[in-house]
Structure 1
């Protein structure tokens, strides 16, 4: 088993929670996992998730909202098409209204865990 497999699994657990029509960045995931310098490793995890249908890797983009991972999808427009099917507008590989649809795991997942505690 790879040394990175534990980190990759943690990345996948976060990515699985990104709702349709929302996107996050490699760096936001790395920061949430307590390893803010590991954005590139998050990208490697996304590449390694090829064939894992439960991992919506198309929802992870760079910090500026660019589809930098598009080459890792079969077909050059597959990442864009998957996002557009979810209502995300993409022009010239750039997510439109990036700030509006950005899903920040630090805020979203911490908020959800607080709500979960309220219901216990």
Structure 2
């Protein structure tokens, strides 16, 4: 009976992981559509050469996608936690967290530059 419950939990977590990974990919796809639409509008309106608002919009989508992908990795490791998987998760978490941190920092700096105010450090 315990094996049946454990198998059901593992199956449920794997389905949840797949859903979260799919959401992450979907967020990136939506971000790409937003960027393409933004670029088309940018060139159609003949605006200046600043792509900063378009970059900021895409960066927000990437930040959310990174969070979702990290969550999927955590779910994957929680089902069968071997030391090898835990080590890989730690490496992935560090890389994705660093990417997310610097991406968020750049978003804040670009927003402050666009608004003409000094950038405030994010906590």
Q: Which has the higher strand share?
A: 1
- TM-score, normalised to structure 2's length? 0.23
Structure with the greater alpha carbon radius of gyration: 2
- TM-score, normalised to structure 1's length? 0.24
